[in-house]
Structure 1
Amino acid sequence: MAQFMDVHQGMKGITGDQLKEAHEADLAIEKEEGVHFEKAWADPQSGTVYCLSEAPSADAVQRVHERAGHRADEIHPVPLTV
């Protein structure tokens, strides 16, 4: 499976509890799309949230996020990691 980094904008002021809740919403349904969300990061000041996942496609990642209620603004493949 491929890795993807997605970006959510407009979450200014997000708290740790809210980030955890959003991540858990993804985890609850990820298997239905063959996705695994590995980690999420947030910058409350800018309102940017990043999620790293393994998935069959960017579309599968977006479907999970949409169903969980927080559509990604950008999804980027991660072809190389160290």
Structure 2
Amino acid sequence: MAEYMDVHRGMRGITAEQLDEAHRADLAVEREEGVHFKQAWADPDSGVVYCLSEAPSAEAVQRVHERAGHKADEIHPVPLTV
């Protein structure tokens, strides 16, 4: 399965609790789309949130985020890691 990094903007002021809640919302439906969200990071000052996942496609990642109530602004494949 491929890895994807997605970006959410406009989440200025997000708290650790809110990030955890959004991540848990993704986890609740990820299996139905064949996606696994591995980790999420946030910068409350800029309002940018990043999520790393394994998925069959970027579209599957977006479907999970949409169902969880926070559509991604960008989704990027991550073909190489070190």
1:37 corresponds in structure 2 to 37
Q: Answer yes or no: is 1:58 the counterpart of 2:58.
A: yes
Q: CA deviation at 1:3?
A: 0.1
Any runs of at least 4 consecutive aligned residues in structure 1 with deviations exceeding 4 A, and if so which? none
Residues of 2 paired with 1:38 and 1:16: CA distance? Answer: 16
RMSD, aligned CA = 0.2
The 5 Å alignment of 1:2-41 reads 2-41=2-41
3-state SS of paired residue (1:14)? coil
* TM-score between both structures, scaled by the size of structure 1: 1.00
1:30-74 Cα distance to aligned partner (Å, 9 max, x none): 000000000000000000000000000000000000000000000
3-state SS of paired residue (2:22)? helix
Gaps of 5+ in 2: none
Residues of 2 paired with 1:15 and 1:29: CA distance? Answer: 22
Q: CA deviation at 1:14?
A: 0.1
